[in-house]
Structure 1
Amino acid sequence: MTIVWWIGSLLGALAAVGLAIIHLGRGLVPVTIHGHSMYPTYASGERILVRRLGGVRVGQVVVVEQPDAAGGWARGPVIGTAPARAVALRRWMIKRVAAVPGDPLPPTPIPVASGVGGAVPSGHLVVFGDNQRASFDSRHIGLVPVERVLGVPLVDRPARPSNAVHHVGQRPTSRH
């Protein structure tokens, strides 16, 4: 084996690692938590890695784009392959999914468009903060379009018993 072969092998390995890092960087995005809506599960100022994905389920924590003051979104959604710098230009909220398309709307009053009926329509979610006293969530903004979901935290944390909330389809838990 010659030195040329070793250098070629090393360069090939470095190129493969570089491509893996670029691919991983588009699949994982760092997000800083602001506010207390998910406390004590997540604390304000904490940085988490968010894994981009397609589908979500009830009880799962998601990072969703925060609407503007008028309750809408001025720009189109961030696409799944957008680089971290594009993600950083948006405002994000971390919430727990309470209902997915087809689920009954929760008993908690939320603003919904007329004609929705009693179920979450296709392409939308109901999201609540674990700490509902400090949360800006579906009780204020209504249904959240699925296209506004960035992803889920890389490390899943269940709601802590002291702040557990009722999710549609589950039995209520105590809130101390």
Structure 2
Amino acid sequence: MMWLAGGLALTALAGTVAVLRRCYIVVRVHGTSMTPTLRDGDRVLVRRVQLARVGPGDMVVIKMPPPHTHGAPPWLVKRAVAVPGDPVPTDRFPILPATDRAVPPDRLVLLGDNPTASYDSRLNGYFAADKVLGVVVRTL
């Protein structure tokens, strides 16, 4: 009977781990674009979320857009400056279309905490929302 209880406990544990892996992931920071908040080599816990759960000021992890993927880490960690429906901050991001009054529904405006070393919306323009992995919960 004890082996049955042990088996049930292991099954419950495996199920919990599977659910957590679908909801959370650990990502390693590469580079200095988020200093002083995050440093090269830091690991962050990321909660997978839909775009609707991302707000201005959140640190997000997003897939590196092409053509910059060659030899680069697959993920970028940036701070959301504007989300869909927010006014377009054209004063800080001149590359963004001045004709847009609001951030389009499927786009984000992102900025690194260390702008001098950051590949962000100042160079890329809008980032595609479907490339968002999630929101940084904490450093590990």
The counterpart of 1:68, out of the listed 63, 66, 78, is 66
CA distance in 1, matches of 2:78, 2:94: 15
- The structure that is strand-richer by fraction is 2
TM-score (norm 2): 0.86
Instruction: Write the letter of the residue equivalent to 1:19.
Output: G
Asked whether 1:127 is paired with 2:125, we answer no
* Superposition RMSD in Å: 1.9
Identity of aligned residues (%): 38
Please name the residue that 1:108 is paired with: 92
Aligned length: 133
CA distance in 2, matches of 1:8, 1:109: 61
Alpha-carbon shift at residue 113 of structure 1 (Å): 5.7
The counterpart of 1:14, out of the listed 10, 19, 23, is 10
CA distance in 2, matches of 1:109, 1:150: 23
Unaligned runs of 5+ in 1: 74-89, 157-176
Cα pair 1:110 1:138 within 8 Å, conserved: no
- The ranges of structure 1 where at least 4 consecutive aligned residues each deviate by more than 3 angstroms after the TM superposition are none
Alpha-carbon shift at residue 112 of structure 1 (Å): 3.6
TM-score (norm 1): 0.70
1:15-94 mapped onto 2 (5 Å cutoff)? 15-54=11-50, 55-69=53-67, 91-94=74-77
Unaligned runs of 5+ in 2: none
Cα pair 2:49 2:133 within 8 Å, conserved: yes
Asked whether 1:148 is paired with 2:135, we answer no
CA distance in 2, matches of 1:39, 1:144: 21
Q: Deviations over 1:122-146 (max 9, x none)?
A: 1111000011111100111111111
Cα pair 2:58 2:136 within 8 Å, conserved: no
Larger Cα Rg: Structure 1 or Structure 2?
Answer: 1
Change (3 A) 1:27 1:110: farther
CA distance in 1, matches of 2:131, 2:41: 22
2:57 alignment partner, SS class: coil
Q: Deviations over 1:105-164 (max 9, x none)?
A: 1121343468x52210111110000111111001111111111110012227xxxxxxxx
